[in-house]
Structure 1
């Protein structure tokens, strides 16, 4: 038995009610899996580095450089994953007091501002990738080029722009589809 939702909050969608995911929904899920993989990779890097230092007094060559670049990659892919879902930190005081139509207007406006900011950030990050490539910046120990790490981070930012654009479109055209994959199951 479903309990009625408060006014302005859409009913949760059960798995049985969901249609087959579209290509865009699979793309969104793929971005989230990539972000999760980078979380695991950074955690493994930190764990192995600490283990080797503590027990064997050995450090991974370029462990610091690679670790900080992986952390940067994680941040940008994390931005992509949270931007579509709206799972980032928000201040909802005005939104909570607004009516349904005004909530939608606020959501669309906030998402457009986020889209602008992340697009500018993506352009600037591409400039950083290009500069790093041209300047042939290398890691300290192994002399690896650093631009591929920056490029992977940039791809995370590009993914964020795409997902924010999709979120904006869905907020305008089909707001019930924005978070349907993360809808809560009704409490019995």
Structure 2
């Protein structure tokens, strides 16, 4: 079975979103596997050989950032966040649709401007040569990655919010 066949069978997204979701999930899963492997090697090295993996804590921090921000656009696009619907039975469907659209606009614009600021900070870190404490890896690139994933999340929020508001049938 080819990769395209497998992706088409297991992913319900349409068009290029299907491949983007697959790629982001592949990144998140790979980083999670590497985090697990690093932690196992670090613990085994620490307790069996009295020699932990150098920089394991720093690698874990960077890996968590990579994993969380790779999964964030996917979870958002699929509508997997927790939703509190205490007032849904009280408010009418039209009010709920307007509130859904307003919340999508607020959240997506917040994620966009947050991404802009994080990207600026990442650029500044790169210009100044800021590196991580133990391994000496440039930290600005991780910040720019977080900004790009924030922009993807903003696009996912506005896409999902507008689609659900305008094209979801009323109950």
- Asked which structure has the greater RCO (Cα within 8 Å, sep 6+), the reply is 1
Deviation at 1:167, TM superposition (A): 1.3
Runs of 4+ with >4 A deviation: none
Equivalent residue, structure 1, for 2:98:
105
| Counterparts of 2:13 and 2:85, CA distance in 1 | 32
1:52 corresponds, among 45, 50, 59, to 45
Residue number in structure 2 paired with 1:132:
125
d(CA) in 2 for partners of 1:49, 1:20: 38
Choose from 69, 78, 84 the match for 1:76: 69
Structure-1-length-normalised TM-score: 0.69
Equivalent residues, number: 161
Alignment of 1:84-163 (within 5 A): 84-163=77-156
Q: Secondary structure at the match of 2:82?
A: coil
Gaps of 5+ in 2: 1-11
Q: Could you say what secondary structure the match of 1:94 adopts?
A: coil
Gaps of 5+ in 1: 1-18, 177-188
Cα RMSD, aligned residues only: 3.0
State the TM-score, normalized to the length of structure 2: 0.74
Q: Counting helix residues as a fraction of each chain, which structure ranks higher?
A: 2
